[in-house]
Chains A and B, each alone.
Chain A
Amino acid sequence: MKPFRYERANGVAAACAAAAAPGARFIAGGTNLIDLMKLQIETPELLVDIGLLPLADIIESTAEGGLRIGAGVTNSGLAADMRVRRLYPLLSQAILAGASTQLRNKATTGGNLLQRTRCPYFYDTTKPCNKRAPGSGCAALHGINRMNAVMGVSDDCIAAHPSDMAVAMTALDARLETVAPDGAIRAIPIDALYRAPGNTPHIETVLAPGELIRSVLLPPPPQGRQVYRKVRDRASFAFALVSVAVVAEREGDRVRAARVAFGSLSYKPWRSAEAEASLEGASATRTSFDAAGIAALKNARGYGHNDFKIPLARRTLRATLADAVGV
């Protein structure tokens, strides 16, 4: 690890001001950042610890009937909250499908959203990687890219976002509330947080230096059943090959409305407007679910080792929809 200075922030304004300096980073649970610092993939000069900021670990009801989740709430705390378990079971399920209890006890809501890719070449500092070393190339493009993305990426970077929690939040239309170093507060829909890699894959989000995620806002819970399904190489404690978050409402033998988001297919959780349009008013049958899967993966492209993700995503969507609408 490179040497760094460490500060504990005692207020939001002070934290943002400190973290706006070049080379400074917020640290929350540290479960991603410290891992990357050990490998010198991240080399911050200053760590601003936001673990003790006021309101960081509060979950409260909002006037519109949703929830406001402090960015410092741990993944364990969020998944175990009874309001989340009753009203947004999708979110509890997704969080509980990720990492291990030890990690979830430290990992925070903000840190989970901003965790970096698990692309093996991003982690291997002996290999070219445009995300880690801009301009060096992408070793995954023709390498062992089994875990990489199949949608929305570019030949400069085919990394997938590894979060489970963010997939549920995307299906739930979450918004992030951020504070900038100048004190400005803005709300960012989660789907607009992540930037497509294009030819600048090292720039991953729309956040400015020193901009702090203060909280995540969930709108009132959607109608319908919520189901998160994760497919991975072993039954527990592994990143997703593919995951699907579904909220589906059934009316008689039809699907009234459905929301669909995929994990591990793209640089961000992939909300599929195509699948949702195809499901609206469709018969609650496997044929309709297959059609939704075909619509969702229409523009997908495999890179060799990850070709399997495309049919796997379709089948996982079918199974998850069948579960959600009770077919």
Chain B
Amino acid sequence: MEREFALRSPISRRRFFGTAGVTTLALASPPAFADATAQTSSLPTVNVRLTVNARQLALDLDPRTTLLDALREHLGLTGTKKGCDQGQCGACTVIVNGQRINSCLTLAVMHAGDEITTIEGLVEDGDLHPMQAAFVRHDGLQCGYCTPGQICSAVALLAEHKAGWPSHVTADVATRPALTDAEIAERMSGNICRCSAYPNIVAAIRDVNEGGRA
């Protein structure tokens, strides 16, 4: 579904809900949102080309638009969450050119030409990504609000570990540490879970790293 809507960019969230047939939600969307849209359209915009989940998109954006707001409000990719909007919680984590970042502390215009993967882009041909499946299997969530960020973060974490990156808990930074639970916890510290699903999150990541069932 997201892919279909990603193609329709730029679209407002209002239209996203409208096209998806969830008219009641569209009607219930807060007036503040409509104001924001009106205000934005009166300011000069810049054209930004982004590749999001392997789709090339062109957006006309107010330069102030964060990557997070571009994804959620302009592309309807609401899987990526806004927790703090200050880099402190990790709910907005997406993967840009293979590296995880906080999409709330970067401007969409700074990402012209970049390849962005969101939680929606991890699904392949309708199959959950192994990390998504492991989170389900290990019950690595309660309310689920932090989960898209946790999963994007965890996917990138495995790539960083494979590349031999050390962490704060690596005893000798010149070595390539094994991915112990302590290493996983430290490397995931940029993703806060208010429900404290941490033990199961660590278990899910450990499972995927050890090649557990996909």
Q: Which residues of A contact B (CB under 8 A)?
A: 1, 3-6, 8, 27, 29-31, 34-35, 38, 47, 49, 51, 76, 79-80, 82, 85-86, 89, 92-93, 96-97, 99-103, 105-106, 235-237
Question: Is there contact, CB below 8 Å, between A1 and B189?
Answer: no
- Shortest Cβ distance from residue B168 to the other chain A in the assembled complex, whole angstroms: 4
Assess A38 versus B100: contact at CB under 8 Å? Given A85-B174, A96-B166.
no
* A1 & B87 in contact (Cβ 8 Å cutoff): no
> What's the nearest-Cβ distance from chain B to residue A79, in Å?
7
User: 10 shortest A-B CB distances, which residue pairs?
Assistant: A100-B190, A236-B189, A6-B63, A237-B189, A92-B173, A96-B168, A85-B174, A105-B99, A80-B165, A1-B64
What's the nearest-Cβ distance from chain B to residue A115, in Å? 12
* A-contact 0/1 string along B94-120, CB 8 Å cutoff: 000001111001110110100000000
Per the bound structure, the CA–CA distance linking A79 and B167 in Å amounts to 9
Query: Which of B12-20, B72-80, B136-144, B156-164 lies at the interface with chain A?
Result: B156-164
A101 contact from B46, B100, B173, Cβ within 8 A:
B100
B112, closest chain A residue (CB)? A8
Given A100-B90, A101-B160, A236-B189, the answer on whether A35 and B105 have CB atoms closer than 8 Å is yes
Given A34-B66, A100-B90, A237-B190, the answer on whether A3 and B43 have CB atoms closer than 8 Å is: yes
Does any Cβ of A come within 8 Å of B132's Cβ?
Answer: no
| Minimum CB distance partner of A27 in chain B | B110
Chain A residues, Cβ within 8 Å of B160: 76, 101
Q: In this complex, what residue of A is CB-closest to B109?
A: A6
Whether B166 lies near A4 (C-beta < 8 A) is no
A304 to chain B: closest CB distance in Å?
Answer: 26
A102-B190 contact in complex given A5-B63, A96-B167, C-beta closer than 8 Å = yes
Structural contact, A30 and B110, CB atoms closer than 8 A: yes
> How far is A27 from B106 in the complex, measured between Cα atoms in Å?
10
Give the docked Cα–Cα distance between A102 and B106 (Å): 11
- Measured CB to CB, the nearest residue on chain A to B103 is A102
10 more CB-based (< 8 A) A-B contacts, given A34-B106, A92-B173, A99-B190: A30-B105, A34-B107, A38-B85, A80-B165, A89-B173, A93-B168, A96-B167, A100-B87, A101-B160, A105-B100
Q: Is the interface of B mostly helix, strand, loop or mixed?
A: loop
Number of A-B residue pairs having CB atoms within 8 Å of each other in the complex: 106
Hey, which chain A residues are within 8 Å of B105, CB to CB?
A: 30-31, 34-35, 103, 106
A97 to nearest B CB, angstroms?
5
Band of interface residues on B = 35 or more
Closest to B189 in A: A236
B82 within 8 Å of A by Cβ?
no
B147 sits at the interface (CB 8 A): no
- In chain A, what residue has the closest Cβ to B90? A102
Taken together as a complex, chains A and B put the C-alpha atoms of A8 and B94 apart, in Å, by 23
Q: What are 17 A-B contacts with C-beta separation under 8 Å?
A: A4-B64, A6-B107, A35-B87, A76-B99, A79-B166, A80-B163, A80-B165, A102-B87, A102-B93, A102-B100, A102-B101, A105-B100, A106-B101, A106-B102, A106-B105, A236-B168, A236-B185
Q: Which positions in B face A, CB cutoff 8 Å?
A: 43, 46, 62-64, 66, 85-87, 90, 93, 99-102, 105-107, 109-110, 112, 153, 156-157, 160, 163-168, 170, 172-174, 185-187, 189-191
Tell me the bound Cα distance from A171 to B144 in angstroms.
Answer: 44
Question: Is the CB–CB distance between A4 and B63 below 8 Å?
Answer: yes
Cβ contact of A106, chosen from B46, B64, B106, cutoff 8 A:
B106
Q: Which of A31, A101, A105: most chain B Cβ within 10 A?
A: A101
In the bound complex, do residue B90 and residue A6 qualify as a contact, i.e. CB atoms below 8 Å apart?
A: no
Question: For B87, B163, B172, which residue has the most chain A Cβ atoms within 10 angstroms?
Answer: B87
Contacts of A30 in B (CB 8 A): 105-107, 110
In whole angstroms, how far apart are the Cα atoms of A82 and B46 in the complex?
40
Separation in Å of the B14 CB from the closest CB of chain A?
Answer: 22
Q: In the bound complex, how far is the Cα of B88 from the Cα of A237, in angstroms?
A: 8
Closest to A236 in B: B189
Q: Is the CB of B186 within 8 A of A92?
A: no
Interchain CA distance A236-B88 in the complex, whole Å = 12
Residues of A close to B93: CB separation below 8 A: 102
Complex Cα spacing A49 to B166, Å: 29
Shortest CB-to-CB span from A45 to chain B, Å, is 11
